[in-house]
Every structure is written in structure tokens, then in C-alpha cells.
Structure 1
Amino acid sequence: MSTPVEAIPAGLEPYAVLDKRLLAAVRGINILATVSWPASLEDRMIEEYGKGQYALPEVSYKTPDLSEVRKELAAIESEAGNDDPLGDYLRRTAESWRIAAEMLEAVGTEGVTAPSIQLYGKPGDAIPGSDRSNLDAARYFVELSDELGADLHDDDITANISSEVLRADLAKVLDDFFGTGKIAVEIDNDLTAKAAAGATRIRLRGGTRFSQYDRHQLLNHEAYVHSLTALNGREQPLLASLARTSPRVTATQEGLAVFAELMSGAIDIARLKRISLRILAIDMALNGADFVEVYRFFNRCGQSVGDSFHSAQRVFRGVPLTGGAAFAKDNVYLSGLLDVHTFFRWALKERRLDLLRYLFAGKLTLHDVMSLEPHFISGVLAAPRWLPPWMQHVHGLAGKLAFSLFINRIRMSKVEAESLSIGV
């Protein structure tokens, strides 16, 4: 969205100019497209792995030249300064894109690992407010899922919805929610994930069958978070970059999307297990496991041949397959969920539900929401036009969070089965 110069409050024009320069500089950076594998290679290797032929895939990448982009981003960092939260936001955002550019210029080498960890964190990182790590949390959810899994299979989860039927269904729901034509729903036969979302388009993988559970998850994760925050970002009068996911906001955005699944009942323990297994796999790769070893790990944990291959591929995107390197992006799903959940509980405790609404005003981090609060209050930054359905019912949200806030005080280590026998 383009904003007339006269509409920008006096004194803030330099930030608007820097924001436009930032968007122009990063226009050609596409992280996942640069590190992705050809669909034809994946199909062929999955067929071979299904026969027990476990050769390391041979993957080649096209290395981009982003030297001029890095220079411009470094200049924006310098000029943005940190005297105002707007400048601090621009400086941090430009820095994250510059690190991403450095990462992509190292594609195909172990040089991808360090910047990817800088952007997305690593499994051993501590959880804020806890003496546990992201790796500890991943192990916990995997163990819990394995203990409960035999009793939690849902016979009603049947993948009987074609991509064509789901496309038409989602298109109607989204037209009703956002307005006709705001978001197009398309089928993409080359998509490796089941679905992907942008500001104005959601793609579904062609030839795939979906369940009602998939539909619920797609709406709450992809549409009501990823697309919604992008559309709200496009409504911003000053910072157009709030419509684009920069590397530094990935953890909050993915964490918020998984949190949305949790709040809307669109997540189950099996989903938490899949997210957690990826973190364990990143840790394995960083500690020397090669692609085949990581593939076998997923397969032993109950994933199909195809799912195990795709899961291992996510860990090794853009890096050598021989071990000791990893693409760390999948670390953010669990760490981001834990951070967002903690933030929501903190905001409720402090009675700051206004901050929770600001979180949907664009592609923001938790830090941004806090630091930019004065500019939301003044109207320089616009409050979100759209909120997810589960955020529109504040009393229901507060009830869920208030219950979890209190229930977490109960120490399970001190609970005995006999003490739960009521009325005997």
C-alpha cells in the first residue's frame, strides 16, 4: 500500500523513506525458494527409499549474488538508528534480512548453519522463565505422545476431502470473513507442503486429500494468522514492511499460528509430536547425523516413507547432507509457541489485552508489540482491521488463559492418584 507523503506525521518521513528502501532491497530475497529441493528429485528418492535404497540425495543449488543488497541493508541499519522504536524496528529488520542474505550466499555449504541459528535459534536454547530448553520441551512432547498415542487415535479423522472441494470451501469462508476476493485459494501441483499462505493467496497441494481436521488447521494457522497479519500489515499507513514476514519475525509468526491452533482446538498431541521430532532431528544433524540417519529416525518414530523423507529434507535444506550442518527454521515452531503462550499469559496477568490485539496488526515480534506501543496509541501505527475469530471473544480467551495461569501452580509431582478420588 502506498501512503501519500502528506499523510505521514511530521518528523516521521525519514522512517517511511527507509521502510520503502528496505522493501525494495529485499524484494529479490526468497529464503525457502533458494534452499528448496526439486519436486522431481524428492519423488524419485522417496520411491528409492521405499525400496530400501538409502543413498544420499544429490542436491544442487543456485547461489545468489546479494552483495549489493547487503550493502544497502547495512546502510539502512546505520541510518535507522535506535533513538525511536520505529528506527529500532527498521534497524533490527534490516539486520535480519542482511543475515539471511549472508546465509543464502552460502547455500549448499555448512556456512548456512550459523546464520540460520542466528535467525531461528537452536534446540538447546533456554525457554524464557524456565530452566528447561527447547530440546527438553521437544523430548517431553514426544514422550507424552508416545505414552498416550495408543489411546488417542481419532477414527473420525479421515482424509476424504479433495483439494478441489477444499479450495471451493475455503474460498467461500474467506470471502465471508475478509471480503470477496481479498484472498484467492489456488491449487499448486508443485507444492511440497500441504498448504502455504501469503497475504492474498493460499495454495493447496494438488492431488492431495484433506480431512476436516486439516481444514480446521488451515483456516486457523494459515488464513487467520499468516494471511490475516499480512493483510493488516498492508493497512499500515507508515510501515509497509509490516505486511512482509522478515526473518526476525518468523518465530513469533509461526508461534502465533500454532498458538491459534491451540486456542481454536485445531491441534492435537500428534501435531505437537511432529513439531517436536523436527527439533530433535535438527539436534541430531548438528551433532553429526547425516540425511539417511535423520530419515531413519523419523521413520522409526512412526512416519511414512514419504513423510520421513520430507521431514528430513526440511532439516537439510541448503546444507550438506553428510552431517554436522542443519537449516534451523523448524526450531521456531515450538520455541515460538512457548514464547507466545507465555506472552499471552503475561498480558492477561497484567491486564494488557490491548497488546495482544496489536500483535495482529502486521508481521511483528513480541518485542515490537511492546516497544511500538506508543505509536499504536498515537495512531501512527494502525490497530488491526481483522482479528481471528478466537481473538474476537475476549472473555472466552481470558477464561482459557486464566485457567491455565492458575492450574500451572499445581505441582504434578505432588499429586497422588489417591488424592483425586473424590466422593469415595
Structure 2
Amino acid sequence: MSVPATIPAGLQRYADLDQRLLAAVKGIRILSSVAWPASLEDRMIAAYAKGQFSLPEVSYQAPDFSAERAELAAIEREAGYHDPMGEYLCRTAESWRIAAEMLEAVGTSNVTAPSIVLYGRPGDVIPGSDRSNLDAARYFVELSDELGSEMIADDVSVNLTAEQLRADLAKALDDFFGEPIISVEVDPELTAKAAAGATRIRLRGGTRFTEYDRHQLLAHEALVHSLTALNGRAQPVLASLGRTSPRVTGTQEGLAVFAELISGAIDISRLKRISLRILAIDMALNGADFVEVYQFFSHCGQSAADSFHSAQRVFRGVPLTGGAAFAKDNVYLAGLLTVHTFFRWALKQRRMDMLRHLFAGKLALHDVISLQPYFESGAIAPPRWLPPWMQHVHGLAGKLAFSLFVNRIHMGKVQAETLSLSL
């Protein structure tokens, strides 16, 4: 189905509201507003490596988003919930308004509550289960620790510099898209190992990357985050689908980690890292300060630099004395589990089309279901690009079908003797 040349009749009002939304949120930059200066990081990491612990001194410039919040509230009122497209705009505007309130409180514990509204809490129950995100995190950490000594020989020792990885990823992306659409850059100020936009991927300078890192960045950052942004930018009515709103963060990060899993780009150490961050958020919410959280990561085997960066992610924008946290890292594991469940549900319902629609832009799972009439009419265009593992839908269906069936096997009833006698 081709992208409509003009906005379909009756949808111009939503297109206008969408443009107003994009204009209102243009200056709301969540992660850059809570970022720490690289010079502080370098100094503190050197001290911590020597066992010289003190709380970092971080200052923030609190913005005034009162005008933006008023405009977003107006968009909510005008869009209304009586139509799926209006509902999408209402939910999206509301999430940006909550994010604006969160950033206006930067540097105080008042960041915590809105960040939990946007990203969830470690104790939240996993859909379709009686277990929590925190339970899942503990499971993956324990499993990784149990398997660790047996998997040393499988450790990936190939080290790539940021520059080497930059050149490698740039070539791979040019080959995939058929032209140089996405640039890859090295950024010494970047806190995370990597960050992706629609047309630019940044790598943290001065960092060494493994071959697993390369596979993860390609599957996660490039062929989910950048790819969905590019597809979203091409939408005829809802151009906001080209930008990650706070409310879709869980789905987008969950989809990106799922891409790692389904393409074989994730390892047990990666699952442990994202799980440890959830445990650390829980620690901080329960009173642990920055040094205590740093030491937690260090005792779990992370280097001084990695431990500092991991603790920093938990305390972005909040006081470092304990009792507060920035909850974004809650979404990686929770999102993975929920997206995985959604993929299995879609297969059971024989709705593989919904899985392709996930890549049409920056969508939440709820949007993929509620906006189906507009996918069917063509008002929301199908994705131009799909990651390789989604292009081979029969292979994906095979993996999901197997997953659906084996989940009926109760491991508590399985004994080694029974297995050895059955074959």
C-alpha cells in the first residue's frame, strides 16, 4: 500500500493538532536535561577506582515549560478520545506534559513520581503473569551468576575502538538502506554507550566495544530506533510518529531488546546488566545513596567506569542521597517481556500484520491495536523498512510458534531421569 499523496478527508484536523504537538515539544529534551558533564564523570571515576568515595556534586538548570504545558493541555482538550487518532494525540500530549513537569523539578526528589508514571516501577506486575519486573530481574541476575563460570570460554574478547565501530556500522547501514541515510559519529560527551536518532547514531568516545556490542547496536539502535524514526517521519498524517514520545519508551526499548533476542545479538551478560539496573532503581527508591548503588554494581563485577555510569543512570536528575530515582531503565526488561508476549499473542490471533505495523513509527503496543482502522485505510502508512528478522516472517512465525507450545511445559514437573528415558 502506497503512502497517500494528500491527507485523507476528515483527518486534516488531526494533522494540524499533530503539527502543534511537535512544535510544542521541540524544546523538551529529557535525557540531555538530566545529563552529567563528562569532565565530572572522568574525575569521579578516577577517584572511585582508588576507593575515594564521595557524592558527586551535580547541578541542573530547571527549565520553565509553562507555555508548552498549556499548549499540550489545549491539544488534549481539542483532540478528544472519541476517535482512535484523537486518543493517540491525547495520550501523547499528556505524556509530554508529564515529562515537562518532571524536568521542571530536575535536581529534586519530585522527579521520581512522574518518572515512574512514564516508565513504571520495578515492582510492577508483568502482563499475563503474577510475577513482577523485580522478580524477573532477580531471576536473570541469579541465572547469569550461576552460568558465569561455565561460560568464560564463550566470552567475546575482540575489542573495537569507537572509531573502528563507527566505520563498521556506517558501512553496514549504507548497505542495508542502499544509501548513506544514517550517519555514525563518535561523541566523547555521551553518557550511554550509544544513542540513536532518525539520521544519526552516536557512540561514546574513549570506549572499547566487543563483537556482541556491535551486533546489539546494529539490531537495537540502528534497525529499531533509527528505522522506526525514519518510517515515522514518512507518515502523511501523524508526523509525530517520527519522534519517541515518553509514553512509547517502554514499547520502543522493549522492541529494541526483543530485536537483539530474536536476531541472536543478546547474551546472558546483557540480560544481567539491564536486570541489575532495575535492582538498583529499587535500591535507590528504598534509600540507597549514589555510593551504595555504585558499590552494588562494583560487587556484581562491573568495572569502576561501568559501575559509575550504571549508578549515574539511576540518579539522573534526582538527589544523590537516596530515596529518589530516575526510573527510565525500568523499561528495558519490562518492555522486552511485554513485547515478547505481544508477539506471541499476535501469532496466536493470526495477526502478523500487527507486528509489521509496530515498525511504522514510534508506537506503543496500544496504538498498534487501536489505530488498526487507519492502517487498513492507508491513513497510517505501512513501514518502508523492516529489520531483516521481520522480513522473513515465516522464520519469525516458526520461532514464536515453538515458544507458544513449549511454554505449556511446566519445568517443575521435569526430572532428569524422565528426560534421559524419553530419548
2:86 is matched with: 87
> Partner of 2:123: helix, strand, or coil?
coil
Match of 2:215 in 1: 216
Q: Give how far 1:247 is off.
A: 0.2
How many angstroms does 1:360 deviate by? Answer: 0.3
Alignment pair present for 1:109 and 2:108: yes
Is 12-21 or 148-157 further displaced after alignment?
148-157
Q: For 2:129 and 2:191, locate their aligned partners in 1 and report how far apart those are by CA, in whole Å.
A: 36
Per-residue CA distance 1:265-324 (angstroms, 9 max, x = gap):
000111101100100110011111111111111111111111111111100000001111
Q: Distance in 2 between matches of 1:285 and 1:193?
A: 20
Q: Which range moved further: 291-300 or 209-218?
A: 209-218
Pair 1:166-2:173 in alignment: no
Residues in 2 aligned to 1:73 and 1:278: alpha-carbon distance in whole angstroms? 32
Counterpart amino acid of 2:85?
L
Q: Which stretch has the larger CA shift, 401-410 or 176-185?
A: 176-185
TM-score, normalization: structure 2?
0.97
Gaps of 5+ in 1: none
| C-alpha contact (below 8 Å) 1:217/1:266 kept by paired residues | yes
1:9 Cα deviation from its structure 2 partner? 1.2
Partner Cα distance (1:201, 1:171) in 2: 10
Query: What is the deviation of 1:156?
Result: 5.4
Aligned counterparts of 2:49 and 2:164: Cα–Cα separation in 1? 30
TM-score where L is the length of structure 1: 0.97
Where in structure 2 are the equivalents of 1:184-333 lying within 5 Å? 184-333=183-332
Task: Tell me, in whole angstroms, the C-alpha distance in 2 between the residues paired with 1:124 and 1:423.
Answer: 40
Letter paired with 1:383: P
C-alpha spacing 1:240/1:51, structure 2 compared with 1 (3 Å):
same
For 1:271, what is the secondary structure of its paired residue? helix
Q: Given that residues 174 and 180 in structure 2 are in contact (C-alpha distance below 8 angstroms), is that contact kept between their aligned partners in structure 1?
A: yes
CA contact (8 A) 1:159 1:209 kept: no
Is 1:382 aligned to 2:376, yes or no? no
Matched AA of 2:80: G
5 Å matches for 1:15-34? 15-34=14-33
- The Cα RMSD (Å) is 1.3
The residue type paired with residue 101 of structure 2 is E
Cα distance, 1:213 vs structure 2: 1.3
Distance between the aligned counterparts of 2:193 and 2:309, measured in 1? 11
1:417 corresponds in structure 2 to 416
SS in 2 for 1:126: coil
Which range moved further: 6-15 or 270-279?
A: 6-15
| Residue 408 of structure 2 corresponds to residue 405 of structure 1 | no
Q: How many residues are paired up?
A: 421
Following TM superposition, by how much is the alpha carbon of 1:420 offset from its aligned partner in structure 2, in angstroms? 1.2
- Percent identity for Structure 1 against Structure 2: 78
Match of 1:340 in 2: 339
The residue aligned with 1:135 is: 134
Identify which range, 250-259 or 305-314, moves more after superposition: 305-314
The code of the aligned residue for 2:401 comes to A
* SS, match of residue 28 in structure 1: coil
Query: Could you tell me how far apart the structure 2 residues matched to 1:352 and 1:310 are?
Result: 40
CA distance in 2, matches of 1:399, 1:188: 40
Tell me if the contact between 2:375 and 2:381 (Cα under 8 Å) persists in the aligned partners.
Answer: yes
Which structure 2 segments of 5+ residues have no match? none
Query: In structure 1, what residue type is equivalent to 2:274?
Result: I
- What pairs with 1:332-371 in structure 2 (closer than 5 Å)? 332-371=331-370
Give 3-state SS (helix, strand or coil) of 1:374's partner.
helix
Instruction: Report SS of the residue matched to 1:257.
Output: helix
Letter in 2 for 1:178: F
Letter in 2 for 1:99: I
Aligned-residue offset at 1:403: 0.9
**Contact 2:35 2:191 survives alignment (8 Å):** no
Once the two structures are superposed, residues 57-111 of structure 1 have per-residue CA deviations (whole angstroms, 9 ceiling, x without a partner) of 1110011110100000000011110111000000000000000000000000000
Letter in 1 for 2:65: L
Residues 162, 207 of structure 1: 8 Å contact kept: yes
Q: Is the CA contact (8 Å cut-off) linking 1:162 and 1:209 kept in structure 2?
A: yes
